[in-house]
Chain A
Amino acid sequence: MRTMSSSTVERPTAQGPDRTPGGPTRRTRLRLARLRDLALIPPIIALLVYGYTLKPDLFLTKAYLVDTVLKYQAELALVVLAEALVLIVGKFDLSLESIVGIAPAIAVFMAVGNTDAFGAPWPTWTVLPVALVFGGLVGAFNGLLIVKFKLSAFIVTLAMLIALRGLQLALVGGATISNLANRIPVVDYLGSLRVATLPLSIWIVVLCFAVGIVVLGYTRVGRSLYAVGGNPAAARAAGIRVERVVWVTLIVAGVLASFAGLMLSARLGSVAANQGSGMIFTVFAAAVIGGISLDGGKGSLFGALTGVALLGLIQNVLTLAQVKADQIQAVNGLVILVALVLARLTSGKAQD
């Protein structure tokens, strides 16, 4: 899964905050790294301009960008944040897409489902904590297999993806749990509350990313993520508890994914039996387009966020342009490729 070369060992220090003494090389590297963060800005601007030409009176208004573009990327953004952390630490987590489905399904099922197991129905306020705790438990279990039993993260989380999806189907009997907004106040708030004119979900994403960026950029814990992902042996030699860092990252990722799942359920007013299914491809696409390396130890959360914004804009502009139903997927893929080339040309830095 990961190839070790001297360059990957060096780069985390260039990408993340410096741990080596300063010098001219360090400076240029730092600047390049910052540029890489902004690589997707040109294609994003291009899409904004194109959207503007399609609907000049509407597209660049706040109401449009917030309510039809950003709001719909909130859940994806949280899962991308989770996946980015796991990738930076040098692992994979495919099971996140199933957590997006099963965490809200279990929490909602215990509150309003047709069951009396474990003292159900539980009060509706438990939905949020139950979902988050469940997501954390899945992350912890992944961590147990990956860190303790030394199984391949890719295969473990792939198996968990399938198992959790199956568990959800078995739990709800394949049916959609519907009409949630009227039955569960927490879900209604998550889906419709606005704070300072912006939907709550957008604030949650902003907050989570802000915390993530500060932690990764300016704290010892954050730097250890890059170190572990870049070269675990060196990290261990430097006194970092590699296993613990990986394990905690997996748990945080699980919690974030379950939160995203609950937000998605709140937005849709239901938990579909296939909620989140297939989402992991988009998650990886957004993270990698945003500059997160699949090899670990590289990439920034801000970059990942621009990846999400780019994919969301493409989707929205294609809807606006009324691309034909049978062509939209082909056009979608093509536009992503063009955006990548544009990012490569403007940033001048090799992608990997």
Chain B
Amino acid sequence: MTSKFRSRATLAVVAASFTLTMSACSMEDPAPAGTAGSSGTGGVGVDLPRADSDFWNAYAGYMPAKAQENGVELTGTTNSQNDVQKLISNIDSLVTQGAKSIVMAPQDTGAIGPKLDELAAKKIPVVTVDTRPDSGNVYMVVRADNRAYGTKACEFLGEKLGGTGKVIEFQGSLSSINGRDRSEAFKECMTTKFPKITVFEEPTEWDGGKAQAALETRLSTDPDIKGVYMQAGGVFLDPTLQVLKQRGLLVPASDPKHIFIVSNDGIPQELDAIRKGEIDATVSQPADTYAGIGLYWAKQAMAGVTPKEGATDHGSNVIKLPNGYEDQLPAPLVTAANVDDAALWGNNKS
């Protein structure tokens, strides 16, 4: 009897402390809403697409500083963990908290359409970063041209291989537009410009383990593979280097056994690997500019400015879309020649 009572009591204490912490968490949320109301233009609600990628964490890290730079107030920051349902409820919560515009990065570009139209009807302008929604009204899409990533990677590998040989490509997820764009552009460029290069396309769902298994299989069946294109740096870099190291293929570019590797993202680890000669190039996806320009356009939207097509003062180009505008940011190719460039965001982080 007593022991039963004791365990019940412990359970109750555990449960109570759990609810306490939970309510403590939710207590913090309403606070920014009050501050947002005091501002003249209103605040910007930011939703982050996921918390488990190096790139998006860098992006999240830039947000507060860039908000200050732009003189924008952040109503709140939510994280939708790569789930469109969470994204939709996060947006509702941000709007309730008083957000007058939204900056988001919907990873499912098909499903967000109706929500975008709903926001447009409420006169809440939306800036999407990194992805272009298939439908639904947006004020501005801020993204680097992902097709250019694929093309740049293809041109680099094609040139290094002298137009012949075998290349393995770690595709991201086919359900993400960025992965699709990179895959399609890479394939298109390879078939038109370097028809003599054989490409092995490996679907990985952004999973480093899957990429590693595919690489190992391919290196067994085709030991004369000379190039690797990985569509993301964070998840594929270490697994790839591990396989090459164990097979004794991690050799300088001057060695005929060298396998040329091109990556995408431009995170600090990739830049380090380029310095060490482990990989040869990456396309730097501008995490800092994504944050800065995303907030810039959110501010413009709240001020009632209509975007103009053509070149901008931040070195990019705005084009008209059927459902809004798109600001196409440059994404530089990084090789050993320019890896120490201080303008690369990957070099700014400690």
The chain A residues found within 8 Å of chain B, CB to CB, are: 55, 58, 63-64, 67-68, 71-72, 148-149, 169, 173-176, 178-181, 191-192, 264, 267-270, 272-274, 277, 315-316, 319-320, 322, 325-326, 328
B203 and A268 contacting across the interface, CB-CB below 8 Å:
no
Mark out the residues of chain B between 204 and 235 whose CB falls within 8 Å of any chain A CB in the assembled complex.
208-209, 212-214, 216-218, 220-221, 234-235
For B62, list chain A residues within 8 Å (CB): none
Q: Which of A267, A274, A320 contacts B212 (CB 8 A)?
A: A267
A175 and B54 contacting across the interface, CB-CB below 8 Å:
yes
Mark out the residues of chain B between 245 and 260 whose CB falls within 8 Å of any chain A CB in the assembled complex.
245-246
Closest chain-B Cβ to A180's Cβ sits at a distance in Å of: 7
CA of A319 to CA of B50 in the docked complex: distance in angstroms?
Answer: 29
Task: Determine the residue in chain B with the shortest Cβ distance to A274.
Answer: B52
For B51, list chain A residues within 8 Å (CB): 169, 174, 273
| A-B CB contact pairs (8 Å), 27 listed | A67-B220, A68-B217, A68-B220, A72-B213, A72-B216, A169-B52, A173-B57, A174-B54, A175-B54, A176-B234, A176-B238, A176-B269, A179-B269, A180-B238, A181-B242, A181-B245, A264-B209, A267-B212, A270-B208, A273-B51, A273-B52, A274-B52, A316-B213, A319-B202, A325-B171, A325-B202, A326-B203
CA of A63 to CA of B207 in the docked complex: distance in angstroms?
Answer: 24
The chain B residues found within 8 Å of chain A, CB to CB, are: 7, 11, 50-54, 56-57, 60, 171, 174, 183, 200-203, 208-209, 212-214, 216-218, 220-221, 234-235, 237-239, 241-242, 245-246, 269
A267 and B7 contacting across the interface, CB-CB below 8 Å:
no
Task: Determine the residue in chain B with the shortest Cβ distance to A265.
Answer: B238
Given contact pairs A174-B52, A268-B242, A58 touches B220 in the complex (Cβ within 8 A): yes
CA of A67 to CA of B174 in the docked complex: distance in angstroms?
Answer: 28
CA of A322 to CA of B217 in the docked complex: distance in angstroms?
Answer: 11
A320 and B217 contacting across the interface, CB-CB below 8 Å:
yes
Given contact pairs A68-B216, A72-B216, A268-B239, A320 touches B221 in the complex (Cβ within 8 A): yes
CA of A178 to CA of B208 in the docked complex: distance in angstroms?
Answer: 12
CA of A144 to CA of B7 in the docked complex: distance in angstroms?
Answer: 10
Closest chain-A Cβ to B264's Cβ sits at a distance in Å of: 15
For B220, list chain A residues within 8 Å (CB): 58, 63-64, 67-68
Task: Determine the residue in chain B with the shortest Cβ distance to A73.
Answer: B213
Task: Determine the residue in chain B with the shortest Cβ distance to A71.
Answer: B216
Task: Determine the residue in chain B with the shortest Cβ distance to A277.
Answer: B52
Given contact pairs A178-B269, A268-B208, A67 touches B216 in the complex (Cβ within 8 A): yes
B235 and A272 contacting across the interface, CB-CB below 8 Å:
yes
